[in-house]
Structure 1
Amino acid sequence: MRRTILFFAVLCVFSLKATAQESQSGIRGALNLSNLYVDDVDDENMKPGFAVGFYFRKNIADVVSIQPEINYSLKGSQINYNSFLGNGKYRFNLSYIEIPVLANFHVGESLYFSAGPYVAALIAAKVKDVDGDGTVNSVRELDRDDFNTFDYGVAAGVGFDFSGGTAGVRYNYGLNEVAPNNDGLENGKNSVLQFFVGFAF
């Protein structure tokens, strides 16, 4: 797993160095709306999160570019509860270092469609107990031995370029079980709808 993540990271770095004059690079941030799915994806247990990182883009044809990224991405899910003691939600926060490698297909001067694989490494897993009024009751670290520390999947989206940056929406569809040894999250896979903006430098 570590070798795979390292390989993709090195690929990103060499892509940037080798094409510094031909490619665009920048920082990006995103709102994540994430969930864990088993068979069908739904929004019943969706939770907000975020992603932040760097992107590099190289044109390889008039209408095609390759875009590797390195991101910190907060994913997970939430479970609502209602008891005689009160109501609230448990938020499962899963922190990943994520590396997608996307192919962009450009339509006109600004619109583009993206698709490609991603790999990710889990660096932290926590559960937060939040009251209905937003009060945080507790934050507990989860045992990483209950989780797959390696994740992979596919990503697809649409975006548009503007002067000095890019913005759009992307969907990440996980293909690996997140927590096969966790009683509450077994068989779940990552599902993330992402609204992003990036600024070139």
Structure 2
Amino acid sequence: MSIRLQVINNRKTKLLETMKKITNRLLTGLGIASLLFFFSPQVTAQSDNPGPRIGIKGGLNFSQFFVDQPTVEDENIKVGLHFGIFTKIPISSFMAFQPELLYSNTGSKVAYGGTEVGSLLGIREGEVRYNLNYIQLPLAFSVNLGPVNIHAGPYLSYLVSANVKNLRTSDLTTTNTIDLNNDDFNKIDYGLVGGIGFDLRNVTIGARYNYGLREVGREGLAANLTNRSRNSVAQLYLGFGF
């Protein structure tokens, strides 16, 4: 029992450390955005009726699963990419609807320890990297305060591909690999997005957080390895509107 409590405490500590890392990355990105905003000579406030906008955007993903599994010894952020198109449709002088269509790469890097419980679930000691690639449809509503926008809303994603790779196994053999693919993970994911951005004429820059509401693993080994995991993704983005 004491060992399990220690594992739980270690997981809580790791979770707090990871959230601090994500927060620091977001704050760094927002700091850069703020400097660009305040020192750019081209900054202008939005007009009362800016009209619909369409554009392209892309940036970095910082994702992690937060696996609720006592065999997990360590879990690290995976850096990925997202890119796609967006449109901004005014609803009023200060509010707009902003649907997007994005390709988004998420996942995590997880180290598992060898335990009797883990072996019964098919979990071996080793380190595994998860790569999940989605087509994502965020449907955000934004409040525009001059060139600053605060946005939030739901998102819906479809899993187009999944790649799970052993980075390290206890016996270091090439035959002892994890064989998981798209069918082992839920094809549909949904959740919430929220963030802040700055519009510098035709350029938009900002940070966003995606919180998944559906478990990643579907059944069997994938469900055991990613027990109760949901997509958790912090994003930094840059976009160009037309």
TM-score, length-scaled by structure 2: 0.63
- By percentage of residues, which structure has more strand? 1
Aligned-partner Cα distance in 2 for 1:94–1:174: 13
Tell me the equivalent position of 2:107: 76
- By percentage of residues, which structure has more helix? 2
CA contact 1:126–1:140 (8 Å) conserved in 2: no
Please say which structure displays the higher CA radius of gyration.
Answer: 2
Summarize the alignment of residues 1-201 of structure 1 with structure 2, pairs less than 5 Å apart. Answer: 22-37=51-66, 44-80=75-111, 89-108=127-146, 110-130=147-167, 142-181=180-219, 182=222, 183-201=224-242
Q: 1:89 to 1:198 in 2, by over 3 A?
A: farther
1:29 to partner: Cα distance: 0.4
Stretches of structure 2 that go unaligned for 5 or more consecutive residues are 1-49, 69-73, 114-125, 169-173
Q: How many residues align?
A: 168
The SS at the match of 2:76 is: coil
CA contact 1:27–1:199 (8 Å) conserved in 2: yes
| Identity within the alignment, % | 41
1:140 to partner: Cα distance: 7.5
Tell me the equivalent position of 1:9: none
Q: Which moved more, 1:144-153 or 1:117-126?
A: 144-153
CA contact 2:66–2:75 (8 Å) conserved in 1: no
RMSD: 2.7
TM-score, length-scaled by structure 1: 0.75
Deviation track 1:57-98 (CA, whole Å, cap 9, x = no partner) reads: 01111110110000000001112479xxxxx95320000000
Aligned-partner Cα distance in 2 for 1:176–1:76: 14
Aligned-partner Cα distance in 2 for 1:177–1:89: 21
Stretches of structure 1 that go unaligned for 5 or more consecutive residues are 1-20, 83-87, 132-136
Aligned-partner Cα distance in 2 for 1:96–1:107: 31
Aligned-partner Cα distance in 1 for 2:178–2:58: 26
Task: Give runs of ≥4 in structure 1 deviating > 4 Å.
Answer: none
Aligned-partner Cα distance in 1 for 2:181–2:82: 23
Aligned partner letter, 1:171:
Y
